[in-house]
Each structure stands twice: as C-alpha cells, then as structure tokens.
Structure 1
C-alpha cells in the first residue's frame, strides 16, 4: 500500500517506498478534520528509519552545515543523528518553559491554533550555516518561526527539511524564501 509520492529529485530511490509505507495516517487527530501523518511507525521500522536519516545525511554531508536545528518534538528524532553524522551541533527548538536559562521566543500560527518556539540565547553564532529538521510541513508556520529564531541568533538558514509535506496546502507555505526539502507527500 503506497500512500505517499516522492519529491525533490529522489525519483527512483528505492528507499522512499519503504519510508512511505512506514508512515501511518491517523484520522481526526489531534482535532476533527486533521489527517495526522504519524511518523512514530516509521521509527519502529529500523530500515525505514535508517534510510530516512541516511537520505538527509547524504544531502547535507558536503554542504558545510555547522548547525542542525530540530523542532520539538519529532524533529528531535531525526536531527541529532543527522548532526552527528555530518559533524554539526544539534540545537533543540522547544516549546515554552522547556529550556532552562535565557531564551528567545517566536510565536506562530498552526492549522489548529497558536504556539511558540524557543531557543537558548547563544545556541547559534553569527555566520553559522544551519538546516532545520522537522517531521512534517503543512502551512510552514512552525518552520517559519524556527527560521526567525536561528536568524535572530545570527545563523544563516540554508534549508528546511521534512520527512512529509502536505501537498494540498503548498500555496500557503511561508518559509521566508528558504528552500524546502521533502522526502514524501501523501497522495491525494
């Protein structure tokens, strides 16, 4: 059962089918009308999980990336492995009141509410090259907030990367002009 299609030049990569098949859809979660793309089932499949990380590592290995920023919480599942493999530091972007010490904050709008991301002051340095990792992009509000946080710290955001992208709302994505790299998209 193939529920996803591939994007971004990975056509023909046999790993994508396994990644696609490992993601389940949970209807009406967290609220009615949302078709939640659950990557926790991907994490249960060693090969699909490894292939996901390997594809990102292959992409970013030679791009002189010094920061991999992961968006809470599912960006934490991929970001540290990618950072270790490419020789970069991992910077967690967290929900409010989760980071001790001084933080900077950025509010953003979700499809179903308002939220906030925070980052430690000093987590990134001016001129560092960063990528942002999350499990899914819908409207781009979360990634847009992440970009703003990293840029406020002086980092240069090179690209945002997600395992899943929702095609039905592509027109609404707003990533401040930053490139977006997506592995799979649900079929319509």
Structure 2
C-alpha cells in the first residue's frame, strides 16, 4: 500500500510538472484575457460533467467569493448547478443540450466560456462550446490529451495523461492559478 501511495503521488507530481512547464506562457496569456474579460464587465461561464462539474463549481466559487485576497466578487457561473434547468432541458430535449441552452441564454460576446472534459469529447460540453463560439465568446478548453474540445477552443489546455484522476488534478490546479493571476492583475497585487 505504501508503494502505491508513493507511486500515485509521484505520478501526480510528474504530470503537473510536465503540464505546467509546457503551458506556462499560455496560462499567463489566458489569465490576462480572463482579467480583461472581467474588467470589461464580462463573466465566466463554466460547464463539465462529473468531477469536471465539481471543478466548475469550485472554480466559480473562487471567483465569486474570493481566492487569495479580499476583493469584490467577480462574475462566474457554473452551469452545472441549477437542477431545475438541467433536468427540464434533459427531459424536454436531450442531456446533450443541458449546457448549450444555458450558454445561449446567458452568454454574451464579451464573456468567456470554460469547458472542462477529461476526454475532450463529452457531447454536451462540445455542443455548449460550439454555441459559445457561435455567440462570440472566448472559449477556454480544459481537457485530456485529445478530443474535439482541443480543436475548437481559442485557448486549449490539454493534459497528456491516460489517467482521469491525474487530468482532474491538473485542471483544478490550473483553475486555482488562473484565478490567482486574474486577481493579481485586476487588483494590482504582486
């Protein structure tokens, strides 16, 4: 058991080190665009399934409440939270439409959409991403190594790992870093 623990921790460390070394410049660019979106009155719309849905809620909470500093709330909405909307769309249309209809209703050209899918191919994430692009939102994709999300995103963060848990661990760390950098840019902190 101890060897399994050590190996899991080492795999997590290795995956993060490889990812963040490869994406350092793009993360900085994304944080600047995110801060510019928020400063211009735009909002963040986040969507994903399962663990990625939880990540959406977690990241949105960091923006709306606070992350590292006391500051005014920043507008972010996890489209994974309203069970009445999700179940009515799923019932009346399809589970594949649960995020796209919300992006249609809530998304504006000055907003940013963040789609999270470890496979990069979740049909409801891809449909929402396509709607976001059609409506002129900037699309940020968090995915695994491949998939359609990578291809259609304006900024794509792809974790090169076959293990869902390692991908999700990188995604939440990435979300934390983007929130931290955005706060620092917006509120002139070092």
Q: TM-score, normalised by structure 2?
A: 0.47
Q: TM-score, normalised by structure 1?
A: 0.47
Counting helix residues as a fraction of each chain, which structure ranks higher?
2
Counting strand residues as a fraction of each chain, which structure ranks higher?
1
Higher relative contact order (CA 8 A, sep 6+): 2
